[in-house]
Structure 1
Amino acid sequence: MHKLKLATVFSGIGSVEHALIKQSIPFETVFACDSGERYLNQTESEIKDDIHLNQIRDVKKHINNLYNKERKPNYVRETYFANYDIDDSRWYDDIRFIDGNKYINQVDLFVGGSPCQSFSIMGKRAGLDDTRGTLFYHFARLVNEIKPEVFIFENVPGMLTHDYGNTWDVIKGVFKQLDYNIKFEVMDAIDFGIPQRRKRLFVVGFRDKSIEFEFPKGQQNFEPITTFLEENNEIESHFYLGKKGFEFVTNPKYKNRAKILGDTIRTQKANQQFNWNGDFVFVPTASITNDQVKRRAYEGIYNNQHGYIRQLTNRECLNLMGYSSNFKIVVPKMQAYRQAGNSIVVNVMEALINEIMKVMK
């Protein structure tokens, strides 16, 4: 059976890969790329000048060495390697230095979502050169070089209105010039079984312009949030809050930053659970039999009931992004929170890929 050939940039912890696994769609990773929120001191042009002047042939190795000199671990890479079939030869640390020409006609599905940056130079043609200096430019450049059968571009819905709509006008112009059949839609995780209001913009482009494609509409319902939670007494005590955290989370003054779990959670973010941001679970005193929690956590009163308040665990955050229980967590606690918050909801990606597969030859 033909394996779908996948390439991703801004790969994160692999929501696309995990969606394919959950749907039992065989695939092989042509390449993946993520800097792991690490940044180089040199500009892109300075690095390219250095490569040219010193006649550096192995650009990939050179870029990898530059990142290693920063002495900051790539936690995203650690998670990705622990969960998917990949090796060093197929991993890139920086999208800016990938030569897509070596992968021409070798990719079925190409996926990525660059940060929404302001385009300081706005050309009249709204072409690819007008986006130079942004990470979106490199996503579009790679589509142009690789020529995948289909690509998916993901971003926040605010891209549609960013800079009074100028950003989206430029991006639409670029996609048009790539000579792909383009469709776009804002999709919400809550429509695909996840109790999280998380809207994201998806752009799908088909190389075969005769393909007719419609976005999945979802079921307009979702699983109860308790389905995604772990047993309270099995959760380690360090997830429970002390007195200061308890009082912060229950203070109405900070309701825009923190709240006790309801029927749905707010959009998970990279800084969730940091300084008491995000959603929290109230656990009545009578429900706790874990002596370590009783010794270390603060017991307070919420809605006239004695109990404890805890963070969502890393596993619960992944559950609420559609990841299976066998997804491996191999990085520190705060990094795992960031990775979940930065990911695409797997359920949404599953629905999108299934619709794409229906129309692909």
Structure 2
Amino acid sequence: MNTSYTVGSLYAGVGGICKGFQNNGFELSWANEFDKNACKTYRENFKHNLVEGDVMQLDITSLDKIDVLTAGFPCQPFSVAGYRQGFDDKRGNHFFKILDFVDEMRPKVLFLENVKNLIGHDKGRTFNVIKELIEKRNYSFDAKVLNTKDYGNVPHNRERIFIIAFDKELDTSFFKDFKFSFPEKEGLSQTIQDIVINEKVEDKYYYGEDKYMYPMLKETMRRDDTIYQFRRQYVRENKSNVCPTLTANMGTGGHNVPLIKTPYGFRKLTPRECFRFQGFDDNYILPEIAISHLYKQAGNSVSVPVISRLAEHILQVLSSVEKKTLGNFLETA
């Protein structure tokens, strides 16, 4: 029995997807990331081959073939009419580059992650083309939107779509009427107060009386068990008692970084806390780079516990196929 399936990761970011698969015993073979600062963070935490640079320029044949290909890829529209008429509208489109990897490597599993709105992107055309072209290659296709607070036991409102596809040629009969079993919802036992640092942090994260927004913060931020957002002209309380969706633009000016009320004053979440809200534990190393980059990386990342649960279910399918194949072999031997 195969005890270690290999993973190749495109658009790896700081390794949220990699971490989730690693947590389930998968072997990380290689990864690719374009952002140089994300690469610095990635290298602090993983020791396998990281190819830094534009995925469009990657020589696929130079990389080891893998069992699982993962990609949290940028979402782009397709010229559907042009595509179906045979026009060359593939250039520069990231999804078509992923398909090049699929065609060259024929992974057992394709794991894609994107924003929830991928389903309705370009009036649904983008999603339909993705489904059509994956199925055309004789892969299964299952997709579902999962929220971190419901599937990761982390108090973070973050909805993302996950697409899971298996190579049907692994076992034609097994995958004939196959439907991937996504994880069930689970209760949220962690609270915001379990995530935030309960001691004084560096002064740079606090908003003192010298800041123009201080009167607004003082008037609105009255609870220490919730998270607030400063919107330039007003302060909004998040009444669901979870962290609002962390965004990639948190690092630009700091206005999008969620705020909390502490015994030491009003402050924004630290990068460490933002990584915690994505399910990274404190053993995950944050390098000495500008905090704006760390905020961006946390906002761009996936939630590790959600990936871990998906990876666990993927492993169950692969193991089932292998056991069935072994059983068939023994019967005919």
Q: What is the TM-score of this pair, normalised by structure 2?
A: 0.81
Say which of 257, 261, 277 aligns to 1:282: 261
Tell me what 2:38 maps to. 76
| Stretches of structure 2 lacking an aligned partner (at least 5 in a row) | 221-229, 323-333
- In the alignment, the residues of structure 2 paired with residue 228 and residue 78 of structure 1 have an alpha-carbon distance, to the nearest angstrom, of 25
SS of the residue aligned with 1:152?
A: strand
Correspondence for 1:298: none
Q: 2: CA distance between counterparts of 1:152 and 1:26?
A: 13
CA contact (8 A) 1:115 1:135 kept: yes
**Deviation (angstroms), 1:332:** 1.7
- Residues 218-297 of structure 1: pairs in structure 2 closer than 5 A: 218-233=185-200, 235-242=201-208, 243-247=211-215, 254=231, 259-260=236-237, 263-272=241-250, 274-283=253-262, 287-288=263-264
The 3 A distance-change label for structure 1 pair 96 and 221 is: same
| Matched residue type, 1:14 | G
Identity %: 26
Separation in structure 2 between the aligned mates of residue 130 and residue 249 of structure 1, nearest angstrom: 50
CA gap of 1:121–1:180, structure 2 versus 1, over 3 A, is closer
Alignment partner, residue 338 of structure 1: 296
Q: Counterparts of 2:163 and 2:315 in 1: how far apart (Å)?
A: 16
Counterpart code for 1:34: E
Q: What is the match of residue 147 of structure 1?
A: 106
The verdict on how the C-alpha distance between 1:83 and 1:127 changes in structure 2, with shifts beyond 3 A counting, is farther
Partner of 1:96: 56
Quick one: structure 1 residues 124 and 318, their matched pair in 2 at CA, closer, same or farther if it must change by over 3 Å? closer
Shift of 1:317: 0.4
Match in the other structure for 2:161: 201
SS in 2 for 1:266: coil
Gaps of 5+ in 1: 37-73, 289-307
Q: Distance in 2 between matches of 1:107 and 1:128?
A: 31
CA distance, structure 2, for counterparts of residue 132 and residue 101 of structure 1: 19
Question: Which residue is 1:314 aligned to?
Answer: 271
How far did residue 33 of structure 1 move? 0.9
Which whole-Å deviations, capped at 9, do the CAs of 1:224-271 have from their partners, x for residues lacking one? 1111111232x1111112422434656879389854565111110011
The structure-2 alpha-carbon separation of the partners of 1:99 and 1:244, relative to structure 1 and needing over 3 Å to count, comes to same
TM-score, L = length of structure 1: 0.75
After superposition, residues 345-356 of structure 1 pair within 5 angstroms as 345-356=303-314
- Distance, in Å, in 2 between the alignment partners of 1:319 and 1:245 is 27
